Amino acid sequence: RCNGMIGDSQSLPPRADVVQFYKTNGISAMRIYAPDPETLRALDVDGTGIDLMMDVGNGNLSALASDPGLAASWVQENVLPYPRVSIKYIAAGNEVVGGDTQNIVPAINNLNNALAKAGITSVKVSTAVKMDVLSSSSPPSAGVFKDAYMTEVTQLLKSTGAPLLANVYPYFAKRDTPSIDLSFALFQQSPNPVHDDGNGLTYTNLFDAMVDALYTAMEKADASDVPIVVSESGWPSAGDDLATLTNAQTYNQNLIDHVGKGTPKRPVPLETYIFAMFNENQKEGPDTERNFGLFNGPDKTPVYPIRFTG
Instruction: Return the active site residues.
Output: 95, 232
Give the strand pairing for 124-130 and 86-94.
parallel
Identify whether the C-beta of residue 145 lies closer than 8 Å to the C-beta of residue 151: yes
Count Cα atoms within 13 angstroms, Cβ side, for 164: 31
CA distance 65 to 107: 4
The b/e string for 250-268 (b: 16+ C-beta within 10 A; e otherwise) is: bbbbbbbebbeeebbbeee
Identify whether the C-beta of residue 140 lies closer than 8 Å to the C-beta of residue 212: yes
Give the strand pairing for 272-274 and 194-196.
unpaired
CA distance 80 to 253: 36
